[in-house]
Amino acid sequence: MQLRARLLVEGFIAGLHKSPYHGFSVEFSQHRQYIPGDPLKNIDWRVYGRTDKFFVKQFEEETNLKAYILLDCSASMGYSSGKNITKLEYSSYLTAALTYLLLSQRDAVGLITFDQSIRSYLPPRSIQGYMSRIMSELTDIQPGGKTGIGETLHLIAERIKRRGLVIVISDLFDEENSILMGLKHFRHYHHEVLVFHILDPIEKSFALQGNLRLKDLETNDRLPVLPEHVRIDYQREFKKYLNIIENGCVNHKIDYSFFDTSKSFDTALFRYINKRKRMR
């Protein structure tokens, strides 16, 4: 997982350096005293030679940002169609890449996994050694449990009142107003909020064929359906659902991005970078 995250981020950064985009690099600003856990590569050995004390180079991006990644692990996140990976796998890889990027920028990152309740909570840390702890958690995640996004977001918001960046990664399969009220709770505590809405391409297009029996992954209920007969109505309702979510986020000054699991991770990482720069 950590290797995959590094390759995703390094490929993304290489792409940025070849593009007109500027201002991403982390530049040296000043020194500060060494703290146990700081990467040894940041020690300024010339300063040590003069003072006999350990100092590390402090960078302009080192601003004590606390980022909380909220990862939906409910059973519906286990869905995939065709050759696509599951929504949870896609979201885990995105979480790993964001973690790698945050720690590389010397920000603190924590991970909260949830379904209808909080599954696990790893508080934000900024030391590089914390990466393996988060990657281990991501490697072991399995989809399961019913969705309870709105109520769970309220619980998490009450737990992390100190202002920071909240990144929600979910298929958002819940009642729209409940989701928006949960997201608004974070804004009440002055958090910056970034939502990555992850779905499988089929869930958007409903491009299914034949006489099917669809299974709800969270309740095991089954529904016979002829996709050709309901596709137009499905797409209309899906568009209405997306509009409610997106407009609600805009109204509450929440950054919202929709992705399907066939898309590159670069766009999501770029959205994070833009959000991070606006917070400086």
Report the candidate in 87, 73, 78 with the shortest Cα–Cα distance to residue 215. Answer: 78
| Assigned CATH for 66-279 | 3.40.50.410
Is 84 in a helix, a strand, or coil? coil
Q: Is the pTM of this model over 0.75?
A: yes
Cα separation, 136 vs 113, in Å, equals 13
CA 16 to chain centre: 20
pLDDT at 50: 75
**Calpha distance 94→267 (Å, rounded):** 11
Domain spans, the chain: 27-60, 66-279
- Cβ burial, residue 178 (10 Å; 0-12/13-18/19+): middle
Structure tokens at 140: 């072991």
pLDDT at 279 over 90: no
Residue positions counted in the chain: 280
Answer whether residue 99 shows pLDDT above 60.
yes
Instruction: Record the tokens describing residue 102, joined without a space.
Output: 């945050």
Would you state the structure tokens that stand for residue 253, as one six-digit string? 């000054």
**pLDDT tens for residues 165-210?**
999 999 999 999 999 999 999 999 999 999 999 999 999 999 998 8
